[in-house]
Amino acid sequence: MTAQTTTSATALDTLSESLLRLLDEHDPEVASLLADEAQRQADTIELIASENHVSPAVMHAMGSWMTNKYAEGYPGKRYYSGCVNYDRAEQLAIDRATKLFGCKFANVQPHSGANANLAVYFALLEPGDTLMSVVLSDGGHLTHGSPVSISGKWLKPVHYPLVYDESRADYGYIDYDAVEKLALQHKPKIILCGYSAYSRVIDFERFRAVADKVGALLVSDIAHIAGLCVGGAHPDPFPHSHIVTTTTHKTLRGPRGGLILTNDEELAKAINKAVFPGTQGGPLMHIITAKAVAFGEALKPEFKTYAKQIVANAKALAETLMSCGHHLLSNGTDNHLMLMDLRKFDPELTGKQAALWLESAGIIVNKNTVAQEERSPFQTSGIRIGSPAATTRGLKEDDMRRVGTFIDRVLKAKGDEAVINEVREEVRELCAQFPLPH
Ligand code: DSN
């Protein structure tokens, strides 16, 4: 069976037809699975907060000649010959990144957000140094000091809490008073702000004031919200942060990868050394080229419209879910995501089960731990829901309200196949109105 015959026109639009045809002749097995994946993406609503649909330009830059070269080093200072166009691509990515984020220095080589954070630690810390962050189960990240990560094994993490008291108006928000108290007590070398499951605005200025009080560096990991920051839909991490790390593939809608930014020349030099040769080898030049394309897209005025729509869509979805009686941590969202706390809906229902039911209905979310979680990360008591990918396809507030009712129906049906199948058809019909970028 050929790739062409296994996919609909909509799905084929999402990949270059010539590329698929070429692959189909060369390796039909892989062509078929690629076509199936294009079809899956076309037919389902992607609500994983950290995922997106890249433009064909970003996709093609990744699949280009730029994958063929070793280019260890930095523009103008490489270890291999033949890097003239690689220097141009990397410098372009750097120039666009600094313009986009309004800062002086960028390292575009980290293979991922995890690698970006590792390089920052390697540049600035010694084993055993103290790092302050939010614990993974409250919405932090593995690389922010989790015991299963090198960051938790080699550093001393101290975690600041959220506000857990539900009677408070700031329930589910960062407990900024506790941040200050803990920082004064533990004198961390780095204070980390930025999270993988936090739905409220981050007060970078307040974090910087605490960092200055205790002589710490403020590292803002804006992996999730980078696209919102550059699109004017979330306050900027600069000038308050000493260092900013991010991924390039979430709200920023670029290729999978990492990025480190700073305004401090000495920090920039230390970071460059820590990325290469400290923690990485040859840079992924095809990805760096695609980062340049994505940064170019994010510099365009229409990206601001996109970023604002992400937030408007998340708010519409959150309001619908809450009006149907579901509980969201912090009672809503200011950004691209929300965290549904299932404990109050049904104490027996795990995030794992809820995500499986929703997947059967064509709605893709991820199970997620919620504040003061008692279940394992494989089970969890919550689900995380985000709007960036659906917004890329063109869904607006009314469509997101409809998606909210789909989620509500699936969860309330508690696995009833008839309801799941009914919603699955409505999801297909909605998806057909919003093709993937092509
Ligand atoms: N896995 C990413 C997320 O989903 O948030 C974080 O690295």
Q: How far apart are alpha carbons 285 and 70 in whole angstroms? A: 8
pTM score, whole prediction = 0.96
Distance 362 CA to ligand 1 centre (A): 21
Counting ligand 1 atoms within 8 A of each CB, the residue from 52, 111, 141 with the most, and so the one to mutate, is: 141
**End-to-end CA, the chain:** 24
pLDDT value of residue 359: 98
- Structural domains of the chain ordered from first start: 67-298 (3.40.640.10), 303-431 (3.90.1150.10)
Find the mean pLDDT for residues 162-179.
Answer: 97
- 319 is annotated as an active-site residue: no
**Residue keyed to tokens 């294009």:** 38
**Residue keyed to tokens 């309200």:** 401
CB-ligand 1 contact for 146 (6 Å cutoff): no
Element (H, E) at 321: helix 301-323
Checking if the pLDDT of 80 tops 60, the result is yes
Checking if the pLDDT of 331 tops 80, the result is yes
Distance 142 CA to ligand 1 centre (A): 9
Q: Are 8 and 42 in contact (CB under 8 A)?
A: yes
- 308 is annotated as an active-site residue: no
Burial string for 140-164 (b: 16+ CB within 10 Å, else e) reads: bbbbbbbeebebbebbbbbbbebbe
Q: Name the residue at shortest CA distance from atom 3 of ligand 1.
A: 50
Checking if the pLDDT of 18 tops 80, the result is no
Q: What confidence tier does 9 reach under pLDDT thresholds 50, 70, 90?
A: very low
Find the mean pLDDT for residues 103-130.
Answer: 98
pLDDT value of residue 16: 60
Instruction: Return the C-alpha torsion angle 326, 330, 334, 338, nearest 10.
Output: -50
Q: How far apart are alpha carbons 316 and 50 in whole angstroms? A: 19
- 36 is annotated as an active-site residue: no
Find the mean pLDDT for residues 62-79.
Answer: 97
Classified as helix, coil or strand, 256 is coil
* Average per-residue pLDDT for the chain: 95
Q: What confidence tier does 23 reach under pLDDT thresholds 50, 70, 90?
A: confident
CB-ligand 1 contact for 50 (6 Å cutoff): yes
Instruction: Please state the atom number of ligand 1 nearest to the C-alpha of residue 247.
Output: 7
Which residue in the list 78, 208, 250, 393 is annotated as catalytic? Answer: 250
CB-ligand 1 contact for 112 (6 Å cutoff): no
- 409 is annotated as an active-site residue: no
pLDDT in tens, 422-435: 999 999 999 999 99
> What are the C-alpha distances in Å from 295 to residues 213, 230, 235, 418?
35, 10, 18, 45
pLDDT in tens, 205-256: 999 999 999 999 999 999 999 999 999 999 999 999 999 999 999 999 999 9
Checking if the pLDDT of 203 tops 90, the result is yes
